[in-house]
Amino acid sequence: MRKYVFAITGATGSVIGIRVLREVVRVSEVHLLISSQSFPIIRHETGIDWHGEAEEVVQSKVRKTFQSENIYYYHEMNLSAPVSSGSFKTDGMFIVPCTMKTLSGVANGYTENLTQRAADVTIKEGRRLVISPREMPFSAIHLENMLKLARLGVRVGPPVMGFYHEPKSVGDMVDFTAGKLLDMMEIEHDIFKRWGK
Distance, CA of 121 to CA of 129 (rounded, Å): 10
Q: Give the H/E segment covering residue 98.
A: strand 93-98
Query: Which pLDDT belongs to residue 67?
Result: 97
pLDDT above 70 for 197: no
pLDDT above 90 for 19: yes
Average pLDDT, the chain: 96
pLDDT above 90 for 105: yes
Query: Which pLDDT belongs to residue 53?
Result: 82
Query: Which pLDDT belongs to residue 125?
Result: 98
Distance, CA of 110 to CA of 58 (rounded, Å): 26
**Tens digit of each residue's pLDDT (9 = 90 or more) over 114-165:** 999 999 999 999 999 999 999 999 999 999 999 999 999 999 999 998 898 8
Query: Which pLDDT belongs to residue 65?
Result: 97
Distance, CA of 52 to CA of 128 (rounded, Å): 30
Which amino acid, 63? R
2-184: CATH number: 3.40.50.1950
Q: Give the H/E segment covering residue 6.
A: strand 2-8
Query: Which pLDDT belongs to residue 162?
Result: 87
**Tens digit of each residue's pLDDT (9 = 90 or more) over 165-194:** 889 999 999 999 999 999 999 999 999 888
Query: Which pLDDT belongs to residue 86?
Result: 96
Distance, CA of 10 to CA of 37 (rounded, Å): 5
Compute φ and ψ for 13, nearest 5 degrees: 110, 10
Peptide bond preceding 133 in cis form (omega within 30 of 0): no
- Do 116 and 105 touch, CB atoms closer than 8 A? yes
Segment 3-9 shows an average pLDDT of: 98
Query: pLDDT band at 196, cuts 50/70/90?
Result: confident
Q: Where are the domains of the chain?
A: 2-184
Give the residues across from 31 on adjacent strands: 5, 72
